[in-house]
Amino acid sequence: MAGQVELDETLRGYVREVSLREDALLAELRRETAALPGGAAMQLMAEEGQFLGLLAGLVGARTVVEVGTFTGYSTLCLARALPADGRLVTCDISPRWPRIGRPYWERAGVADRIEVAVGDAADTLARLLDELGPGSVDLVFIDADKTGYARYYEDALPLVRPGGLIAVDNTLFFGRVVDPGADDTDTEAIRKFNEALRDDERIDLTLLPFADGLTLARKR
């Protein structure tokens, strides 16, 4: 049986060469974001953005919620995968970062599908459950403060329809999840989160060792 292939820089380069389709607009947003302090570490990998768009298409997403906009790279990938009358609500605690993304969303012709909800994502998720009702969302993407993950996941579950998807970024957390010396609150939160999902009978589950770890939870 074949095992997990080692992904060194050469093989990563090959994968990108034959499959990555990041266009000029996304590349420009990536460059502008990378120039911000901590920007390169915060935004997700280009191939992960592409994969999120693929996932949105696979679940036939019309309504998407994103927790953690930052400068809106993943927002753009997801919004492009929606139909013209689709809706994406993206949450960020700060209005500063989504303001950088909006001109890119406009240039891509998808800004009218995107609503930015500024404030604590837990409040936004509660509001959306009231406004949209249970089972009204096809896909939730969680990529914000790590200590909030368990809460966002629990708030997302009733929002998502059966068969819908919750995707969660950074669930390998730079490999720190298996570092016995890593006892910071973020790493501990990710470890607890991963263990809770392993035992959660409400979902079908996979943790992809892709980018910084991408967990996919399909609501049963």
Please, which of residues 68-107 interact with ligand SAM by CB under 6 A? 68-71, 73-74, 91-94, 97
Tell me the C-alpha to C-alpha distance, in Å, between residue 68 and each of 8, 71, 102, 110, 187: 29, 9, 14, 18, 18
DSSP string, 21-45: ---HHHHHHHHHHHTSTTHHHHSPP
Residue with tokens 């927790």, as numbered in its chain: 67
Q: How far apart are CA 80 and CA 76, in angstroms?
A: 6
**Nearer to ligand SAM among residue 92 and residue 155 (C-beta):** 92
Contact 95, 119 (CB under 8 A): no
160-169 and 203-208 strand pairing: unpaired
Q: How far apart are CA 115 and CA 113, in angstroms?
A: 7
Shortest reach from residue 152's CB to ligand SAM, in Å:
8
Please, which of residues 24-63 interact with ligand SAM by CB under 6 A? 42-44
Q: For the window 147-186, what string marks contact with ligand SAM as x by the rule CB under 6 A?
A: -x--------------------------------------
Q: How far apart are CA 50 and CA 18, in angstroms?
A: 13
Quick check: 189 binds ligand SAM (CB under 6 A)?
A: no
**Nearer to ligand SAM among residue 123 and residue 183 (C-beta):** 123
Tell me how many residues contact ligand SAM (CB under 6 A). 20
Per the DSSP assignment, residues forming a β-bridge with 142 are: 67, 168
Contact 143, 173 (CB under 8 A): no
**Nearer to ligand SAM among residue 63 and residue 71 (C-beta):** 71
Shortest reach from residue 79's CB to ligand SAM, in Å:
12
Q: For the window 111-150, what string marks contact with ligand SAM as x by the rule CB under 6 A?
A: ---------xx---------------------xxx--x--
Shortest reach from residue 69's CB to ligand SAM, in Å:
6
Residue with tokens 């753009």, as numbered in its chain: 76
Query: By the criterion CB under 6 A, which residues form the site for ligand SAM?
Result: 42-44, 68-71, 73-74, 91-94, 97, 120-121, 143-145, 148
